[in-house]
Amino acid sequence: MMNDPTGEDLTPDMTTPLTQCTREVRRWRAGAVSAEVDCLAEEVPVALEYNGIAHAVMLATPSDLEDFAIGFSLTEGIVDSARDIYAIDVESGANGVTLKVQLATGAFVALKVRRRALAGRTGCGLCGTESLDEVMRTPARVRSGASFDPAVFDQAFMALSARQNLQRSTGATHAAAWMRADGQLILVREDVGRHNALDKLAGAMARNSIDVAHGAVLVTSRASYEMVLKTAALGAGVLAAVSGPTALAGRLAESAGLTLLGFVRTGSLVIYTHPHRLRIAGSPHSPA
């Protein structure tokens, strides 16, 4: 049970409950077959309940689940602040994990009003949404004044790769990270789902009272509409991805005031929106 949603814990919980298992496999290589033992990432149903009412079920990696509950609640607009969450109970069962979240009265009343128009949400980000207006909601415009040397992004992604322990052993997970404006990687969270990894990161930042606007969010996936929506909702000024964005994600980033970067590689990246947050010599968009 978590009684203090803002308690400090910068270290990912990748040990309990079990996040991976082993399986005997056959590997074919160069015409020959060998018996080996491989590691597989665990994926379990995770149900979210608010004040005793079921809200959503996602498939997720069973780690950092309190971070996930807080981050999902924030990025989905269920709460405005982690302080609206009074407690979280993590209950493991034979069929999965239930996160029992206790909300402040005002937040719960607002959620009940919202549920009249929604059938529920799932880990795909948009499934279960009944209203087009709900799907295409626009977050408050990002006001982050942080600026970045472009060179720090590929350095941060290299540091991120070294900290993806579950990905290194299973090859089946995504990661989301928060980087300070000076390029220092502060927080990393992993999950089989890219949205879940970002929600876990959001929750970890909230618990540690990190001002998201003073840094950038990094993801090891494509920059989809939902990833842009969640990042903008947090107030981060930059979302950087190893892959490219969708057209819809680019339009949302433009309207939300979010700097969107893709294809971050050694010595290169692509700037899709709001280049003014990158300090590029001779660029008319660079900060003075």
Q: 144-193, pLDDT tens digit by residue? A: 999 999 999 999 999 999 999 999 999 999 999 999 999 999 999 999 99
- Extended strands (E) in 51-120: 53-60, 85-93, 96-103
* Active-site amino acid positions: 124
Which class would CATH give 151-277? alpha beta
Band (pLDDT 50/70/90 cuts) for residue 13 is low
- What average pLDDT does this structure show over 17-23? 86
Task: Tell me which of 15-19, 45-49, 146-150 is least confident.
Answer: 15-19
- Identity of residue 156: A
How many angstroms separate the CA atoms of 23 and 66, rounded?
28
How many angstroms separate the CA atoms of 186 and 179, rounded?
6
In DSSP notation, 167-192 reads HHHHS--EEEEEEETTS-EEEEEEES
Q: What is the pTM of this model?
A: 0.88
Structure tokens that stand for 61 in this block:
């990696």
Q: 215-241, pLDDT tens digit by residue? A: 999 999 999 999 999 999 999 999 999
Domain ranges in the chain?
151-277
